[in-house]
Amino acid sequence: MKLSGRMRHLLGAALVAMPLVALITSIAGAVPIFSRKYQTSCSTCHYAFPQLNAFGKAFQNNGWRYPGGDANFRKDEPTSLGSEAYKQVWPNAIWPSDIPGGAPVAVHAAGTVYMPMNQPDSVAKSSMVFPEHVQVFYAGTLGETFSFFGEVELQDNGAGGIDVGCPFRLQWNRHTNFNVVVGSLHFDPTPGDFSLIPSDINVSALASRNGWSAAGEMPGIGLWGAGNGPGGRGGWKYTAGMVQGQGMSPVGADKDFYARATYKVGGLGEIGGTEGAASKTSAFYQDNSATVGGYVYSGTVAGAVYSQREHLDAYAGTANVWYQSAILDATVMSMSSKIDGLADRKSLAWYAQGQYVIYPWLIGLLRYESTVLDTGAPSSDPNSETVTTLVPAVVSMVRANVKVTLEYRRPLSQYDARKTTEEHLLLRLNFAL
C-alpha cells in the first residue's frame, strides 16, 4: 500500500516522537500456543498479556512447563522421536525426545492510533496504523530438557516499508536451578521484560553515546536458574550471559556481558508449587510479595555516532511490591560511558510505577520517569538537565486475548521544548490467537 507524502511525513514524525523501540520483540510475549497446549485461559499465566502473573513466571522458570509434572496438564499428544527405553540403549542410540503434536504456532497483532498534541493545523491530529506489527510465535518443549521460543515479526516502519525480525531462543533445561539459553537474549534490567503498556520505559530506552540501550535483544549465550524460598514461597532467580554487542560495525570484536539477580519474599514460589500457599487470595492477578534485584551490564559499542569505541558499564537496582490489587515497581540505572578523546559521561535514569486492578478487565497505571543524560556536565549543558515525564494509562482486557490500551505521555520538565515531539495520546489494540 503506497502512502501519500503527508501520511509518510506524519508517520515518520510519529515514530521519531515515540520512544525508541528496537523492534518489539520484548514487548509482546502472549503465547496462545500454551493456552491450546494446556487448554487453559490466557489469564492462567498473564496478569494482562503480555505481562506475566506469578504463575506465568513460575511456568517460564520451569522452561515453559507446568510446575510439578507437565505431562499431567498437557492436553496435546506430543510426537515421539524415540521410545523412553532408548535411554537404556544410549550411547548406542540417539537420546529419545518428542516434539509438539500439533503446530505450536500463534499470532499476535497490534494496531495503533497515535494522536500527537500541539501540532500545527497543517498536520493531521491522528494517525492510524493497522496493523502496526504482526508476530507469529512458535514455542514449546522438546522432550524433557529442551524448550524453544521464536518469533517472526513484521513491523510497519512508518516509511512505507516493513521491518522484519526473527529472534529465537533454544534452552537446555537441565534443572530449574540451571539452564542454558542460546539465541536472542534479553538483558533489560526492568522486572519481567514485558511492559503492560506500549510506551517504552525510560530506563530500558536510555541510549549510550554510540546507541546501546537495554531494550530489545542480541544474539548470545546465557545461563539462568530459579528456586523457591523457605516454605516454598518466593525465591530467587539469576541470569547471566554473553552477547554479541550492539555496535553498528559488522562484527563486534568485543563481547558484552550482563548479569541479573532477584530475590522475592512471599507470594508464589519462583518455580511454582503449592506448599504453604493456602490463602484467601484467589485472583489470578494477585500475589502478595516483594522483590528486589540487581543488574550489571558491561560492554563495548562500536560507533556510528562516534568512530571510536565506547566502553560502557550499566548498574541497576530494582524493586517491586505486589499487594492485593496493586503493584508498585521501581528501577534506577546508572550508565557510565567512556570514549577515548572525549569526557566520560555518566547517565542516571529511574522510574516509579503503580498499577491497580480496578476490575479484572480494567487496570489503571501511572508512571513517573526521570532521566539525566550526563550527571557530570556543567549546568549550562542541556545534557545535565533532569528530564521528567508522566505516563498515565488505562488498560482494558476486553477479552482474555483482546486488549485495548489508552496512554497519555506528558513531558513535565522542559515542557515547551518537548511538547511538540513527545506529548501524545496513544490508543492501541492488541489481540492474539
Partner 1 sequence: MKRLLSGFILGTVALLLAGAACAGTITGKVTIPHARTLADVVVYVEAAPGTYPAPKTHALMDQKNLAFNPHVLPVVAGTTVDFLNSDQVLHNVFTPDKCANKFNLGTWPKGEKRSVTFDKTGCSPVLLCNVHPEMEGFVIVLQNPFAGVTDKTGLYTIADVPEGKYTIKVWNRKFLDVTSTVTVPKTGEAKCDVVLK
Is the CB of 67 or the CB of 192 nearer to partner 1?
Answer: 67
Q: Residues near 221 by Cβ (< 8 Å), separated by ≥ 6?
A: 180, 181, 182, 185, 241, 242
Minimum CB distance to partner 1 smaller for 150 or for 273: 273
Name the residue nearer to partner 1 (CB basis): 43 or 262.
43
Cβ distance to partner 1 smaller for residue 73 or 263:
73
Give, in order, the Cα–Cα distances in Å from 6 to each of 111, 151, 420: 20, 32, 17
Nearer to partner 1, 23 or 30 (CB): 30
- State which residue, 140 or 293, has the beta carbon closest to partner 1: 140
Closer by beta carbon to partner 1, 124 or else 362? 362
The count of other CB atoms within 10 Å of the CB of residue 69 is 9
3 state DSSP class of 191: coil
Centre a 10 Å sphere on the Cβ of residue 97 and count the other Cβ atoms it contains: 17
In this complex, which beta carbon is closest to partner 1, that of residue 43 or of residue 320? 43
**Angle (nearest 5°) at CA 184 between 240 and 24:** 115
Is the distance from CB of 376 to CB of 342 less than 8 angstroms?
Answer: no
Positions in the binding site for partner 1 (CB under 8 A): 38-41, 43-44, 55, 66-69, 72-73, 268, 272-284, 400
Min. distance of Cβ 130 from partner 1 in angstroms? 29
Closest separation in Å from C-beta 40 to partner 1: 6
Please say whether the beta carbons of 226 and 65 come within 8 A: no
**What cell was used for 68?**
510439578
Q: Using CA atoms, how far apart are residues 33 and 139, in angstroms rounded to an integer?
A: 7
Going by C-alpha positions, the residue among 246, 255, 283 that lies closest to residue 267 is 283
Distances in Å between the alpha carbon of 316 and those of 19, 143, 146, 260?
20, 36, 31, 9
Residue among 421, 404, 418, 364 at smallest CA distance from 113: 404
Task: Please tell me the number of Cα atoms within 13 Å of 15 on its side-chain side.
Answer: 16
CB nearer to partner 1: give 2 or 280.
280
- The CB-of-5 to partner 1 minimum distance in angstroms stands at 48
Please provide residue 382's backbone torsions phi and psi, each rounded to the nearest 5 degrees.
-60, -25
What are 256's three cell numbers? 558484552
CB of 45 to partner 1, least distance (A): 10
For residue 31, CA distances in Å to 37, 40, 182, 271, 381 come to 10, 12, 20, 19, 46
Question: In which residue are the cell numbers 542516571 written?
Answer: 348
Nearer to partner 1, 235 or 252 (CB): 235
What is the smallest separation between the CB atom of 275 and partner 1, expressed in angstroms?
Answer: 6
Tell the smallest beta-carbon distance from residue 202 to partner 1 (Å): 34
Question: What's the min distance (Å) between Cβ of 35 and partner 1?
Answer: 9
Please compute Rg for the chain using Cα positions.
22
Task: Output 36 or 409, the one with its CB closest to partner 1.
Answer: 36
CB of 68 to partner 1, least distance (A): 2
Least distance from C-beta 43 to partner 1, angstroms? 6
* Shortest separation between residue 334's beta carbon and partner 1, angstroms: 39
Closest CA to 165 of 42, 306, 25, 41: 25
Nearest distance in Å: CB 269, partner 1:
10
In sign, the C-alpha dihedral spanning 260, 265, 266, 271 is positive
Cβ–Cβ under 8 Å, residues 279 and 231: no
